[in-house]
Structure 1
């Protein structure tokens, strides 16, 4: 493989997927700098990161992370800025022109970002173009609009933007709905109201890369076998699979909105009809991005080629059966789930399995990640319950 000599800035050195991308860029011959909040950030301990820039602004003032990025890239020499968190990706999209005076960013412009980040917009596009998705009520502006609909319970209500299961509510009857609406009457236009899909079947993600010519250069699917919190949260075990229907539907959606670069689409298979239905677009690289690389799709190469104005390599084939596990949260799943001894794959199976953060060649980030995860677990659980 060709060796590059480009300089890459990772804007979210705390993100777990940052490690896999840092390694992938290093294997391409690049030098890697990471912006980190603390010594517990995974990139601050990685042998694949050449230099660390400390910046603590992300917690109190996310907008200041962009100022840190601009200060760094204005020194010269950088080819590309990449980011992984919703907050930082949003801020980069809002300041894309400022940053791209100095180097390219692997982030779309603000209009495209908000189009993809809005779950209601995603549902509207899917429903208008016969792409499978949950039946969604698109025109609810007031409480009366909601109550006038022919609702078949249960339904779900969730924010138009956000991640994980934060703000997700299952409504089982009209009384529950009225109670919820009393407390959220001013928020209706900011909510997604749609049918509830029984969560007894598999969930999926499709990682897609679209080039500047609106051509899909890779589309890789993996199933989510377990997640934590148990009733809705981030995946703890994923397995790469082949599903041409998912690839076709997700590719159609991203081409319709003229996407550019990396993105990730969440889907759930409806046990009532067996159809995998699109739930939302994540306008960034998934937290499980390592499984994409392990399966043979080199996102780092694709991002670098697009930033350099080169033809982007096609990766339409990839390995099936590759597993990616976050041992820390999968252990929490084991403690909380009633299915701990009935899980498929077995919780005790390590076949074709790699840990999301740990690597024998780069072990220190795992210990930093574990300590940081323990410190923030209680806060994250409280957010998801709110």
Structure 2
């Protein structure tokens, strides 16, 4: 199939990764349509989509969003759907059997997707296969079982399914643990309890791509040098690095679970032993995917090749030292962090740095994304404080 024959529906248009993905599909000659919930979504304000649709698509109403996607796909106007967020990837995986009648769905079968989205299932596989990860309790039903386990305080408590450190809690002692669980009426079976790894070292992400023959075709690693919220959140400044140990760990994990296509793996380097340990899988295109394109890796091309059963281009090498900044949240990091003037690289350095949402060739998305970010800020911070 020629790239010009591919009609891509990108779902959802509010996600910042929509920008580089729409640009890349456009560059390949595809017809690109974005599904947006608002005219302020970057998928609507960008010049790269061929068509822009504003219809209901929100995690606030799952059924209504499913109906929106079903209506669009049954029109026959698209032959490939690519999710941008955890919500859209999950929705497409759950409904893949039906939606595959109308288009190629660039999300894994539900059985595989569920392993990747569930932090507890991911940790269980890591510990079974000897893949570096934090010590995690696999089967607990009560606070007493947590307290009497092999875990020492501080203990991390976080939802099995979630994003951006929402619900993340570090309990320093038994009293804090009991108070957090009781106060928030936590159902222990829906949470992960694991050892706390000090966040005094660097964190990493690995942007991975696996083809239909279970071969790794992309394994790009970047350091997360700053993140917001500071206590634990999404990266604000990244740098591509060469870490073969991380590639080995992430490759083994994804191949063992039978993953296909794009995945993003989060890791933290343990300052106690210097080992980078897997924390979770983000089962979709990375929010920082622009760094892949800047480093010479074309994930859009790989998605099309895999979905339409063509040999997938392998990217064994990429540019090291390429930097990516999310200016909106990196500014918040600067305001809140006590390391604002001592961070390395310097917050003021622009060497080899690209912005996630700004470019002179397509400037409007930066402004619309900034407006939306301001609107979401208080709500997002409340989620993390609850």
Whether TM-score is above 0.5 comes out as yes
3-state SS of the aligned residue for 1:280? Answer: strand
> 1:183: how far off?
3.6
Q: Is the 8 A contact 1:28 1:301 kept in 2?
A: yes
Q: Is the 8 A contact 1:62 1:88 kept in 2?
A: no
Take 1:186 and 1:43, find their aligned partners in 2: how far apart are those partners? 36
Distance across 2 between alignment mates of 1:339 and 1:246: 27
> Pairwise mapping of residues 144-155 of structure 1 onto structure 2 (< 5 A)?
144-155=144-155
**Is residue 269 of structure 2 the alignment partner of residue 241 of structure 1?**
no
> Shift of the alpha carbon at 1:6?
1.2
Instruction: Give the match for residue 97 of structure 2.
Output: 97
State the partner residue of 2:127. Answer: 127
Q: Is the 8 A contact 2:135 2:151 kept in 1?
A: no
Per-residue Cα deviation, 1:337-385 (whole angstroms, up to 9, x for no partner): 0000001110000000000001111111111111111111111111111
Deviation of 1:139 (Å): 1.7
Question: 2:72: which partner in 1?
Answer: 72
Asked whether the 8 Å contact 1:132–1:277 carries over to 2, the reply is: yes
TM-score by length of structure 2 reads 0.97
Secondary structure at 1:354's aligned position in 2? strand
What residue is the counterpart of 2:48 in the other structure?
Answer: 48
Deviations 1:16-52 (A, max 9, x none): 0001000000110101000111111001111111111
Partner of 2:5: 5
Deviation at 1:180, TM superposition (A): 2.7
SS in 2 for 1:157: strand
RMSD: 1.3
Distance 2:384 2:368 in 1: 24
* SS of residue matched to 2:365: helix
1:61-120 deviations in whole A, cap 9, x for unaligned? 133223222222222242210011111111111111221111101101111111111111
Does the 8 A contact of 1:214 with 1:259 survive in 2? yes
Q: Name the residue aligned to 1:231.
A: 231
Partner residue, 1:346: 346
Which residue does the alignment assign to 2:381?
Answer: 381
Contact 1:63 1:91 in 2 (8 A): no
Q: Post-superposition shift, 1:217?
A: 0.9
Residue in structure 2 matched with residue 357 of structure 1 by the alignment? 357
Change (3 A) 1:129 1:160: same
Q: Which runs of 5+ in 2 are unaligned?
A: none
Partner of 2:330: 330
Q: 2 CA distance for matches of 1:60 and 1:168? A: 21
CA contact (8 A) 1:143 1:185 kept: no
| Alignment-derived partner of residue 179 in structure 1 | 179
Matches of residues 200-239 of structure 1 in structure 2 within 5 Å?
200-239=200-239
C-alpha separation in 2, matches of 1:180 and 1:376: 25
The 1-side partners of 2:66 and 2:77 are apart by 18
Which residue pairs with 1:140 in the alignment?
140
Distance between the aligned counterparts of 2:4 and 2:334, measured in 1?
Answer: 43
Shift of 1:3: 5.1
Secondary structure in 2 matching 1:4: helix
Aligned to 1:278: 278
Residue in 2 that maps onto 1:289: 289
Does the Cα contact within 8 Å between 2:4 and 2:31 map onto a contact in 1?
no
Q: Could you give the per-residue CA deviations for residues 175-196 of structure 1, whole angstroms, max 9, x where no partner exists? A: 2223234346751111111110
Distance in 1 of aligned mates of 2:66 and 2:299:
23
1:321 maps to 2:307: no
1: CA distance, partners of 2:10 / 2:150: 48
Q: How far off its partner does 1:149 sit?
A: 1.2
Bigger mean CA offset, 246-255 vs 131-140:
131-140
Q: Is the Cα–Cα contact under 8 Å of residues 62 and 87 in structure 1 kept in the other structure?
A: no
Question: 2: CA distance between counterparts of 1:19 and 1:185?
Answer: 39
- Distance, in Å, in 1 between the alignment partners of 2:32 and 2:264 is 24
Could you tell which deviates more after superposition, 63-72 or 16-25?
63-72
**Does the 8 A contact of 1:65 with 1:88 survive in 2?**
no
TM-score calculated relative to the size of structure 1 = 0.97
* Matched-pair contact (CA < 8 Å) for 2:55–2:68: yes
Cα offset, 1:292, TM superposition: 1.2
